[in-house]
Amino acid sequence: MATFLETRGVTKRFGGLVALNRVDFELEEGRIASIIGPNGAGKTTFFNVFTGLYVPEEGSVKFRGHSLTGLRPDEITTLGVCRTFQNIRLFRNMTAVENVLVGMHARVNAGFWGAVSRNPHWKREEGRLWSRAAELLDVVGLRDRANEIARNLPYGDQRRLEIGRALASQPALLLLDEPTAGMTQGEARSLMALLRKLVNDLGLTILLIEHNMRVVMEVSDHVTVLDHGEKIAEGRATDVQRNPRVIEAYLGRRKWTPRAEAERA
Amino acid sequence: MDLELLLGIFPQVLIDGITLGFMYALIALGYTMVYGVLEFINFAHSEIFIVGAFVGVELLLGMKASGWLDTLPWVVVLLLILAAGMAVSGVLAVIVERTAYRPLRHAPRLIPLISAIGVSFFLQDLIRLVESLWRNAFNLVYPTMDALNRRFDITPTIDVSVKSLVVIVAALLMLWGLYSLVNKTKIGKAIRAVAEDQPAASLMGINVNRMISLTFLIGGAMGGGAGVLFGVQYSLINPYTGFTPGLKAFTAAVLGGIGNIPGAMLGGLVLGLLESFAASYLSLLTGGAFGAEYKDILAFSILILILIFRPKGLLGEVVRERA
Amino acid sequence: MLRLRRLLEQPRAATVIAVAALGLTAWAVSRSPRSVVLFMLFQASIFLLYFARMPRALKILVTALALGVLMPVLGTINAYYMEIAIQVGIFVALALGLNIVVGLAGLLDLGYVAFFAVGAYSWAIFGSPQANLIFGGDRFPLSPWWFFAFLLVGVAVAAGAGILLGLPVLRLHGDYLALVTLGFGEVIRVLANNLDKPINITNGPKGITPIGRPPIFFAPLLRAIGIEPNPNVIYPLYLYALVLLIVGVTILVNRRLEDSHIGRAWEAIREDQTAAQAMGVPLVRMKLLAFACGASFAGAVGVLFSAKQIFINPESFTFMESIGVLSMIILGGMGSIPGAILGAAVVTVLNLQVLKGFSLWLNELRNAGTVILGYNLANLPTQLEPAKYERMVFGLILVLMMIFRPQGILPARRRTRELGEP
């Protein structure tokens, strides 16, 4: 059986800069995994390769046996991979529920003429879309803010909305780019609870990029560490945090380790 | 196809192409300098350009009426109208920047562009209004200066009008002047710094706003000078004459690499030559099916093709995609 | 002004004020048909209806009466008003079309008039003897009944042109997209001006005439009720009715698209095209759809335009017209349907009535030799014709709106909906 998500030898260059250097990666279904690494390690670039924003110079990306390299982002979303962005990229002047509705575009079963003629089939589809949007907003806890303009939402809610929007396309694999950035520990914890729920109840697989080590330790089944575009370690969270190469990559000082940081908080 | 005819007109076509090319280059400089500094297309530059032409014609008509046109040597006359045209256009460009662009500097990109289009249209009719009130006419003709209409023999078989030579020489001087200014003076260095990296330049103590205004002043002056030369060369001007050469000059700027000063010069020359050849040979080569009027389509098609296939132009750097 | 708005929110007061305003101004115009100001007040009172909080059915009835009865009556009294009403209708349709491309999808199309031209020329060529020059023989013009079919042909041809334009510009952003569309518009204009050889397709700058008009198929009906159908009287009303019909369909289609997954996808593209694509929106397909859709409205009214004018030439389809339509939606509010309608009405009235009225008034003063502050107005330059200063109007609108109110007079309002109901 094909691995859920795997990359082999993915290399991405920008001119002379090698952002990703022959990265091999595997992800099993039904897991929550994290990618960590110092700033500039290539984590978001890695996501961009998964989602079709970048085409790798070398290597392959396979999702459930389909090759993703060379596909357009919207095609990849249709296959079941969806993401959030490091800097929130909501549709700022649209309402929360409209943001979620757009996320469903890949799954809409009606066309242009349906919209113009408002035939019964279109009306049923629209009804389905709106009720599903309401459910998704429930899941991320934003139901009562459905009609608010996205840019007016508080920061934490915006991050949740982005997740809700990404869920709208019914992905099998959810890629979250620093979902807890800027959150308090309390907010981060409830987000982690949400992620756990998504995996357990909806059968999602989640891949995170994270800097918040506490979150990484608590929620990840598997951790991969990137530095300067290369994979330098991977394994269970507890193993990775003791890995000297990882420690060195972050600060190079023995006093500070990811574990100490997690224990201090 | 009459090969002898084709070859016979070649020198004239070449000279016309070079003259036209330098004119496009001068106008293109205004577009490219502003784009280099602000990443903004100054749509109104075509009107800044034609204002120069109007300043020139008004001065000439005034000189003719007062008899000065006959007494002063033509070089002096030319220098006077060039200086006046450049000054007025330069100042106008700065005024436009202060009133219509600066308030919008931090708005999403389409907003200042729309404002620039608005300024362009407004200026067209403003010129019309001013000329209607002042002279009760806005289709104006440059008074002839006999000295310029003489023809000058380069070789026994090829001759060229003094007018064309004057335009070429004047343009070359202005281009050389600009090049020196931008590359050899402190101010030029400051402008280049602002074009490279605004925040860093500001941190180095450069008054960014002043440099931007200066860029508009210089670019506008180049355009104004080109306007005067345009009037001298083609004689007939009206407030709407600026639009097409403006668009073509913008094409030239993009062709050479928008934001790149030598690129603007190169692009102008290439476009001028292409257009001159198209105008003269297209009709002959196609047996009259496609006449000289199609030269405009040539420029527009080049614009479309370049923006689609090679937006960085011949000499430009890769244009950063603004998401 | 604010008190008026507040008053309009009381249903009973609103109904009374709106209806009274309509009635009063209409009556005043009928008594004084040449007064430009009074007619503008009448038009303003129609707009008042938009703000008045009246029961929906009543509002629709009153609007229908205003547009369907009062306006045609006034138009019969002064034919120029009918002309204005038809022009406003044409520009409303154009503005709504451009609104889809610029307002919803965020693609700054500066060559929109090309689609208008394509529609107009399609009927002009086949509804006049021009096609004989292309195909030889004597089969053209087509019978006037073909006009109705050509309304659809115009839509199809313009939509095709929209796709042709859309294909190469798909990957372009902002400024570059605008410039390429500008170039495209200019290419169409130059082609229209020059395609008179080797085959005479457009008859170049001389234009095409005479263009056929739709048949007065209801003539027997009129005779039956005792009205003798005089074409000069009937056609303005007939064309006005057609314009209203087309505008009505345009508004309906626009509203339906706006409030559907298509409209939301377009708006997402406008907001953040990369994020939209990452969420599954197929950029190529949706952008082409926007171009084709926006173009199709222009194509339809283009056909109507050439039938109305009987004569068209490339002068009607220049960059100025493209910018004119753009200024209408900028004034009214990008992405807003009521905004597009208001913008189109205001700008058209400004050009056709205000500027022209100013011109006429100035001429009267000139002829009368009126003296103001010691200056004899007879000395005013003859070249000074306010009616020609449309560009100044467009230019001022664009600049002032961008600086002071970029969202327009009637900005697009987000649709809110109670969740739990579809």
| ipTM of the complex, rounded to two decimals | 0.89
Say what the pLDDT of residue B323 is. Answer: 30
Query: Which residue did the predictor score with more confidence, A260 or C87?
Result: C87
Q: Inter-chain contact A146–C268, Cβ cutoff 8 Å?
A: no
Chain C segment 196-215 residues within 8 A of B by beta carbon are 197-198
* Percent of chain A predicted with pLDDT > 90: 52
Evaluate whether C74 touches C42 at the Cβ level (below 8 Å).
yes
Tokens (6 digits) for C104: 């919803």
Contacts of C323 in chain B (CB under 8 A): 117, 121
Q: Inter-chain contact A82–C289, Cβ cutoff 8 Å?
A: no
Q: Which residues contact A144 (CB under 8 A, 6 or more apart)?
A: none
Asked if A77 reaches chain C (Cβ–Cβ under 8 Å), the answer is: yes
Residue C317 burial by Cβ neighbours in a 10 Å radius (0-12, 13-18, 19+): buried
Q: Tally Cβ neighbours within 10 Å of residue C373.
A: 4
The answer on pLDDT for B318 being more than 60 is no
3-class DSSP state of B321: coil
Tokens (6 digits) for A242: 């003791």
Query: Mean pLDDT, to the nearest integer, of B17-37?
Result: 92
**Which band of pLDDT confidence, cut at 50, 70 and 90, is reported for residue C137?**
confident
Question: Residue C175: which of B109, B119, B323 has the nearest Cβ?
Answer: B109
| Residue of A229, A238, A233 lying closest to A257 (CA atoms) | A238
The answer on pLDDT for B148 being more than 90 is no
Distance CA C126, CA C133 (A): 11
Say what the pLDDT of residue B322 is. Answer: 36
Chain A segment 16-55 residues within 8 A of C by beta carbon are 51, 53
C-alpha dist (Å) from residue B262 to A133, B179, B229, B276: 55, 8, 20, 21
Q: Inter-chain contact C419–A83, Cβ cutoff 8 Å?
A: no
Query: End-to-end alpha-carbon separation of chain C, Å?
Result: 38
Question: Residue A131: which of C282, C283, C422 has the nearest Cβ?
Answer: C422
* Unique residue bearing structure tokens 């372009």: C172
- With contact defined as 3+ CB pairs under 8 Å, the chains touching B are C
Chain C segment 265-304 residues within 8 A of B by beta carbon are 272-274
Q: Inter-chain contact C262–A104, Cβ cutoff 8 Å?
A: no
Chain C segment 33-72 residues within 8 A of B by beta carbon are none
| Residue of C292, C315, C324 lying closest to C190 (CA atoms) | C315
Q: Which residues contact A211 (CB under 8 A, 6 or more apart)?
A: A36, A178, A181
Distance CA B194, CA B96 (A): 20
Evaluate whether A209 touches A44 at the Cβ level (below 8 Å).
yes
∠ CA C66-C68-C73 to the nearest 5 degrees?
Answer: 85
Q: Inter-chain contact A126–C260, Cβ cutoff 8 Å?
A: yes
Distance CA C296, CA C289 (A): 10
Per-residue model confidence as pLDDT tens digits over C285-317: 999 999 999 999 999 999 999 999 999 999 989
According to DSSP, the β-strands at A5-14 and B159-161 are unpaired
Distance CA C252, CA C274 (A): 30
Per-residue model confidence as pLDDT tens digits over B125-142: 999 999 988 888 889 998
Distance CA C391, CA C381 (A): 20
Say what the pLDDT of residue B320 is. Answer: 44
Evaluate whether C306 touches C312 at the Cβ level (below 8 Å).
yes
Asked if B296 reaches chain C (Cβ–Cβ under 8 Å), the answer is: yes
Asked if B289 reaches chain C (Cβ–Cβ under 8 Å), the answer is: yes
**Which band of pLDDT confidence, cut at 50, 70 and 90, is reported for residue C17?**
confident
Q: Which residues contact B134 (CB under 8 A, 6 or more apart)?
A: B58
Q: Please write down the HEC assignment for all residues of A193-216.
A: HHHHHHHHHHCCEEEEECCCHHHH
| Residue of B249, B252, B186, B244 lying closest to B223 (CA atoms) | B249
Evaluate whether B224 touches B85 at the Cβ level (below 8 Å).
yes
Per-residue model confidence as pLDDT tens digits over C49-82: 887 778 888 888 888 888 888 888 888 888 888 9
Say what the pLDDT of residue B259 is. Answer: 84
The answer on pLDDT for C124 being more than 50 is yes
C-alpha dist (Å) from residue A216 to A35, A182, A185, A213: 9, 15, 12, 5
Residue C346 burial by Cβ neighbours in a 10 Å radius (0-12, 13-18, 19+): buried
Helix (H) or strand (E) holding A188: helix A185-202
According to DSSP, the β-strands at A81-83 and A173-177 are parallel
Evaluate whether B250 touches B24 at the Cβ level (below 8 Å).
no
**Residue C18 Cα, gap to closest chain A Cα (Å):** 32
C-alpha dist (Å) from residue B8 to B153, B280, C369: 15, 12, 61
Per-residue model confidence as pLDDT tens digits over A31-62: 899 999 888 888 999 999 989 999 999 999 99
The CA dihedral of A5, A7, A8, A14, to the nearest 10 degrees, is 170
DSSP state of A76: H
| Residue of A46, A47, A58 lying closest to A19 (CA atoms) | A46
Tokens (6 digits) for B45: 């530059």
Question: Residue A127: which of C271, C275, C422 has the nearest Cβ?
Answer: C422
Mean per-residue pLDDT over chain B, rounded: 87
Distance CA C332, CA C325 (A): 11
Q: Inter-chain contact B323–C320, Cβ cutoff 8 Å?
A: no
Between B208-234 and B74-96, two packed helices, what is the crossing angle to 10 degrees?
140
**Residue A88 Cα, gap to closest chain C Cα (Å):** 10
Query: Mean pLDDT, to the nearest integer, of B230-256?
Result: 92
Contacts of A123 in chain C (CB under 8 A): 422
Q: Inter-chain contact A91–C414, Cβ cutoff 8 Å?
A: no
Question: Residue C392: which of B112, B126, B250 has the nearest Cβ?
Answer: B126
Alpha-helical segments (H) within C66-126: 71-77, 79-98, 113-126
Q: Which residues contact A28 (CB under 8 A, 6 or more apart)?
A: A3, A4, A205, A222
Size of interface A-C (CB pairs under 8 A): 123
Say what the pLDDT of residue C65 is. Answer: 86
Residue A232 burial by Cβ neighbours in a 10 Å radius (0-12, 13-18, 19+): middle
∠ CA B5-B9-B14 to the nearest 5 degrees?
Answer: 145
Chain A segment 51-70 residues within 8 A of C by beta carbon are 51, 53
Question: Residue A130: which of C271, C416, C419 has the nearest Cβ?
Answer: C419
Contacts of B129 in chain C (CB under 8 A): 384, 389, 392
Alpha-helical segments (H) within A51-105: 73-79, 96-103
Per-residue model confidence as pLDDT tens digits over B65-74: 888 888 888 8
Say what the pLDDT of residue C8 is. Answer: 67
Per-residue model confidence as pLDDT tens digits over A201-222: 888 999 999 888 888 888 888 9
Nearest residue on chain C to A144, alpha-carbon basis: C419
**Residue C273 Cα, gap to closest chain A Cα (Å):** 9
Distance CA C2, CA C291 (A): 39
Tokens (6 digits) for C237: 């009303």
Asked if A78 reaches chain C (Cβ–Cβ under 8 Å), the answer is: yes
Contacts of A131 in chain C (CB under 8 A): 420, 422
The answer on pLDDT for C422 being more than 50 is no
Mutation target among C170, C176, C388 for the B interface, most CBs of B within 10 A = C176
Nearest residue on chain A to C416, alpha-carbon basis: A147
Per-residue model confidence as pLDDT tens digits over B189-206: 888 888 888 888 888 888
Q: Tally Cβ neighbours within 10 Å of residue C199.
A: 11
